[in-house]
Every structure is written in structure tokens, then in C-alpha cells.
Amino acid sequence: MIVRYMLRINQNPMRHLSTRKMKLLNLSLLIHLCSLLLVSTQPTNQPPFSCDSTDPLTKSYKFCKTTLPINRRVEDLVSRLTLDEKISQLVNTAAAIPRLGIPGYEWWSEALHGVAFVANISQGIRFNGTIRSATSFPQVILTAASFDPYLWYRIGQAIGIEARGVYNAGQARGMTFWTPNINIFRDPRWGRGQETPGEDPLVTGKYAVSFVRGIQGDSFEGGKLGESLQVSACCKHFTAYDLDNWKGINRFVFDANVTLQDLADTYQPPFQSCIEKGKASGVMCAYNRINGVPNCADYNLLSKTARGQWGFNGYITSDCDAVSIIYDEQGYVKEPEDAVADVLTAGMDLDCGEYLKNYTGSAIEKKKVAVSDIDRALHNLFSIRMRLGLFNGNPAKQPFGNIGSDQVCSQEHLNLALEAARNGIVLLKNDNSLLPLAKTEITSLAVIGPNANSSETLVGNYAGPPCNPVTPLQGLQSYVKNINYHPGCSTVNCSSDLADEAMKIVKGTDQVVLVMGLDQTQEREAHDRVDLVLPGHQQKLVTRIASAANKPVILVLLCGGPVDITFAKNDQNIGSIIWAGYPGEAGGRALAEIIFGDHNPGGRLPITWYPQNLTKIPMTDMRMRPEPSSGYPGRTYRFYQGLKVFEFGYGLSYTNYSYEFLPLTKDKVYLNNQSSDKIALGYKSVSEMGTELCEKSKLPVTVRVQNNGEMDGKHAVLLFVRQAKTGNERPIKQLVGFNNVDLKAGEKAEIKLELSPCEHLSSAEGDGQMVVDEGSYFLSIGDKESEITVVFSEDTSDAATSKLMILPRILIFFYIYSFIHSFIPMHIVLK
């Protein structure tokens, strides 16, 4: 999105803007200035709002009457607008309407893992006043490694509070944040995979629900949001978007060939969860086409699926310039007005760009667009602004008006950022229990690597200025005073390693820590990788340092996407490997705490780590399922049949855990409520079974977890399921539940999870229909399994029990009869 407007190279974003973009930027800034001059008599440090109670004119407007339902208020507002005013509201930088006391509004703000500032482009958030920074949480891919939905919720909640604090301080022109990114991390080369919760649809969906509930102001369980929004979240990029720029193929022209089967059980579920359970108030349609149709011009996707089937009640925005490329780059339509017509009739409401502002008027003149389509879009847009309280008068007197600047970078939020980094970091190797290091025995360290002292690398992309970043070097310095540091390479790309110089600090030190990996020069928006190995001479540097060290070294990797480090995994001179993602501003401290044993690592990989030979497969191949006949191995742990460096869900600890399934309340699941022509084929469609049967078939799964080691620890318990009979394009296995458990040494606990057969045992047919197969399934946690069976015939257990109860009654009758007969003649009894 950002890179559509600028490229961040050499820290000089302006020089890479095209002339057209420069003009758009200047125009955008001019509109902002005019909006402020025309509308605001409010103090500059006061947030912009409408319906000022001190203005007698606003009292006559129905749209200012908070006692009326929002839809009535919006109808009144839209009815007062001229056509030109209506068109001016269809773009991300919505113009002010001075005659109605409505200030300009900026729809585009970012908060992927903390409130961010889109430099020189969007004026939604500014760090130019009393607030100069915001809490920078770990990049999403690392947060996902905690497998902790309540942590995800609290991070969203903290970001929402800080966003309101920035707005209340008068440093925001919008409260709509285009986050979270919930695309599936299908291919490890994707530059934006770091922004996502990983490759699993269930994890991604749960992350979306938890984060959105938190940032919008809902409860963790949901259902308490009502009409008021703390801020507005926007789930993106809808849909099947996971290629940016690979070998000259870019996202603007890429036509993703996606089967209905893969859409149904991989690409779409996170968005369905985000809408139905998370109640997201925004959705962003993606740049790419799906099977020939641009996402933002797809009526079936936006209106029929999102609004019709899933009940979406919010606004739909394009990604930035996604409307213009429909004509300019994809050539999907014959003229610009056709692009405008296609997106509006498809159900899109907002253009991040200028296309709707430039061509909607002429599209109406050419009778390609009806004013009613514009009114519908405006209804969705103004409804969100009203739900945010921006038409309720002075924000200081509104529900979120008491959130002050002191809640931005608060100690509570900084502690949460540290907790998130601690719980996400994954221990990948720990031969001979090299870690944790003994604090009393380590008096000197050699810290080497281009990522060891980079605060910029810590935060990944879409990050705002952090409050108090701590690099890995700084974190280690809090434990060991005698530290020798050398970057090892001049930059992360390591085009020329400085191994000879770095070797000088290795000799004589108690321990060597190498901090290597990637950064935003290697993986980012608009830049996918072509290799999975460490950049440049990094591998050579690591190997040389490890062989020269007095004892096995510790290798720390900062990166979003996975790296093929098979060499390090098999090198006896490398004793421990830690993946720390992009751990946010507290990442250096969290990493040092783990290395020295003040925290026991419990994170697990949210994505498969593949070998380098996966790069032989075109990134453009969107198929999830394998094709053995052609050698195509499939994608993600659910379908991939090739070799792995590390598996999805892999992660070590300083302690040992054991698992035990407690007996299930039932080991047979009966799914028969009506006749079906699919039963003879061995499967049954979920839609056919209906909501009542699906709810009735749910069953609890209880697992006893014990910490058998000598160190307290918190880790994720992952429940998988696999079918006894593999094949038929079904997943090899899939995650169906997860939870976190915090256990002291020697302690045990029971973890309760819920299995929903209609959701967790189903997979997609070729036509996209979700079905459940009859037969045996195996639930697994760690090395333990428990079998359940899906049966389509009627549950006869109750009937059998009733029949068994009849027998004792018959016996009692005959006993009484015989007793009476022994005293009374037969003819009297029968009489």
C-alpha cells in the first residue's frame, strides 16, 4: 500500500515518488490545509469533530441529534450534500464541508503492531505534538508464535487506547486504521508475510477476531461493542493476496488462479471470522485479480459474500490506487469511468486514491453510475464516522474522551510489549542444554552480526516511532558488562563480510552470540525474496565464527519470513538457535532474558520453514494441494509433502512437558439429521447438516499437561486432527484448537478445548462446498493421540439403553407371578 506511493530506499522517500504521485501528494496536503482554514475555529490541539454544541446552526441538523438512530442521522446528512460534495467524500482524503461544519477526514491510518505514521503520505496520524512516539509491539508474525488469543486481544486493546490518545491530543485526522493483515502466509518468499499471523487459517482467523475486538473496544468474548467504536479496524487484503513483486510480476497486474476449493478452506475463513465474530467495521479489497476479476470490482466477493452471506456491516475501501490500476495497468475495462462503475456497483465504498474523485462525475454523465450507488457508499462511510463519535460534539465529553496522552507509551503498554516478545520468541535448537547461560559463569561476551544493534530492524514494517527501543546488544549489556561487539557485515545483505575483523573479538570470550537474519531491505511490501538462504556472506560468516569460537555459539535470527538454516541446524559448533522475528521495541530485553534464563521460551513457529529448493516452484502457483504427478508438493503444513527445515508448531523449551488425553465424553460423533445423497459417497455437506446439529455435535476435549522439568514455563498446547484415511485432497493434518498454559516446575493442569466437527473436521470439495467425511479421525497433542469416529447413521445408543431397561421389568413381573402362583390356584390367577 505505502509503496504504491513511495519507495523507502536510502531513507529518502521523496526522491522515489513519480511526478503524478508528487502532484497527488501536494494536492492532498493542500486539501488538508484548506480544510483546517475553512472549518476549524477550534484550537489546533483539539481533535476535529462535527456538531459543536456551541454552534447554534448545528442544532437544526438532524444528523447532529444523538438521540436519533445512526441510519436516520446519516440519511439526513447525505440528503443535504450536493453531488460535488458527495463525490469529494469517496476518497481517503475526504474534503471538509464548511457550510455544514464538517471538517476534513483522513481514512488512511495504520496500526499493524502499534500506532504508525505513514511518512509524507497520509496525515491520519502525526507525531509532531506532545506525543512523539507510540508503543511498538512485536511484528505480527512473532506475536502469532505465542498462540495466545488473549495476548492478541490485549495488544489490540492497547493500540486502540493509544490511537484514541493521539486523536484526543489533536494529532489525528482520522480514527480508521487499516489493520490487521490477515492474508495467509502461503509462500515463504512473500515480503509481507511478516505482517500476518502465519500460514494457518484457524490461527489467522482467531488472531483477527481477538485483535479486532481489542482495538475497536469490544470485550474479549465479544458482543459488548454496540454502536460506539473506540477506533475502526479494517481486515485486509480481501482476498487471496500474497504476492507483491516476484521476478518482475507485481501485485498490480497479477491474476491469481485460485480454485473454489482453496478459497473455501484456506483463503476465505480468516475474513469470514473477522466479519462474523470480530465484527470488523472495515474491509480492504486487494490489488490482484482472482480468476480474471479484480477484487475491488467483484460483486460476488464484496456484496454477495461479505455483506450477503457473512453479514458485513461496515465500509469497504480499496487498497491505494487499486481502482486506477483496473484501467491503467490491468486493462480490465475500456475507460476510467468503467472502472468507477465496476467498483461502486460491486459494493466498494471508498477509493484510496483520486480516481473516484476524478471520474465519478463523468461516469454519472455517461449514465454508467447511479447517484444511488454513491448514496449507498456514503451511508456506509458516514455511519462509521458517527459510530466513532465524530458527529457527537466535543470528543472530550464522549465515551473515549478521557483517554489522555499519558496512556500512550504507558508503563502498562511497555510491559505488554515485553510480554509479547518474550512469549513469541522461539527456541529452535539447544544442544546439550547450552541455554540458558549461567549468569555467574559468563563474564564476557562477543556479540556479532548486522542485526545486533539495529533498532530499526527490531520493529519491522508499518511501524511508528517506538517509545524506548532496546536492541539485542543493549539487552545483553544489562547482563554482561564486558561485551565486545562487531557488526560482522557492513549491512544485512552482507555483500562483503568483515569476518577477519570480527574473528579478533571471539578469542578469549566466554560465549559468542551471533545476531543475523533479514531486514526490510530483504523482505517488505513490494519486495518478495527469490531465495530462502541467509543473504550474501552471512552463512560463511556464521560458520567461520562458530568454528573459531571456544565453545558452541548462539545464533539469533531476526526475520519475518523463514530462512533455510539447515547448515546451522546440523553444525555442532552452533549449540543454540533462536528465532526472534521482528520483536518490537522490547525485543532486545526479551531476548537477553531468554538467553540468561530469566524467561523460559515457549513460542512455536506459525509457519513452516522450507528448504531452499522450494524456490524452484513459481511463487505465482496459488494451489494449496499437492499434485504428485507433476512433482508439485503443495503449500503449508496442511498439504505440503516435501522436506522441511522446521515444522509448523515447532518450538523448544528449557523444560519438558508431557500430555495425556482424558477420556472423551463420547468417541463417536453422529451427524445424521436427514437423508442425503452424499452419505453413500462417504461424506456429508456442512450446510446440509444445519446449525442445530452442528452445535449439538460439539464435544469437549480435555488434556492433562505436566511440567516435568526444573524450570517454570508457559507454552502453547496445540491440538491437531488427521484422518485415518489420507488422500482425496484432504489435509494431511490441521490445527483445530490451541491454548496457553503456565506451569511451575512439577505442576500439572487440565486444558479444556472444544472440538466442533462441522468446523474442525470439514474440508472443501472441488466446488467449494465444505463437507465432513465419515470414518476415523485422530486427535493429537505432542506424541499422544485419541481416536474419534464420525458416523452418519442414527445414534442408537439411547434406543439400546431403553431396550435393556425392559428386561429387568419382565423378570420382576415373572418373579411376582410365580410367587403368587405358589399360593393361589392357576385358574383364580388367570381369572
The candidate with the shortest Cα–Cα distance to 328, out of 349, 306, 299, 354, is: 354
Q: Going by DSSP bridges, is the β-strand pair 255-256/245-246 parallel, antiparallel, or unpaired?
A: unpaired
Number of H helices, E strands in the chain: 25, 28
| Segment (H or E) for 36 | helix 19-39
Q: Which of 319, 342, 564, 571 is catalytic?
A: 319
- Three-state DSSP at 500 gives helix
- Terminal-to-terminal C-alpha distance of the chain: 95
Are the C-beta atoms of 323 and 343 separated by less than 8 Å? yes
Longest CA span, the chain: 117
CA distance 661 to 750: 9
Backbone angles phi, psi at 463, to 5 degrees: -120, 145
> Which residue, among 2, 174, 7, 171, has the nearest Cα to 93 in the 3D structure?
174
Question: Quick one: which of 594, 706, 618 has its CA closest to 660?
Answer: 706
Distance CA 344, CA 156 (A): 31
DSSP 664: P
What string of H, E and C letters represents the secondary structure of 460-471?
Answer: CCCCCCCCCCCC
Residue 244 to residue 193: CA distance in whole angstroms: 10
Q: What type of residue is 279?
A: K
Read off the C-alpha cell for 339: 472502472
**CB atoms inside a 10 Å sphere around CB 771:** 20
User: Is 519 annotated as catalytic?
Assistant: no
212: left (phi over 0), alpha (psi -120 to 50) or beta: alpha
Kindly write down the DSSP assignment for every residue of 588-609, as one continuous string: HHHHHHHHTTSS------SS-B
Chain length of the chain: 831
Starting at the edge strand found earlier in the chain, the sheet holding 482-486 runs 426-430, 574-579, 553-558, 511-517, 444-448, 482-486
Cα 376 from chain centroid?
29
- Please check whether residue 451 is in contact with residue 514, taking contact to mean a CB–CB distance below 8 angstroms: no
Task: For residues 775 and 787, give the distance between their C-alpha atoms in angstroms, rounded to a whole number.
Answer: 10
Check if the beta carbon of residue 2 is closer than 8 Å to that of residue 108. no
Strand (E) or helix (H) holding 491: none
Q: Are 491 and 520 in contact (CB under 8 A)?
A: no
Residues with Cβ within 8 Å of 730's Cβ and at least 6 positions away in sequence, in order, are 723, 763, 773
∠ Cα 170 171 177 (to 5°): 115
Q: How far from 515 is each of 454, 519, 560, 598, CA to CA, in Å?
A: 10, 12, 14, 20
R_g of the chain, CA atoms, integer Å: 30
One-letter amino acid for residue 43 of the chain: P
Please state, in angstroms and rounded to a whole number, the distance separating the CA atoms of residues 747 and 332.
Answer: 62
Residue 54 CB partners (closer than 8 Å, separation 6+): none
With CA atoms as reference, report the closest residue to 704 among 751, 754, 665.
751
Residue owning grid cell 453510475 = 369
CB 175 within 8 A of CB 120: no
Active-site positions read 319
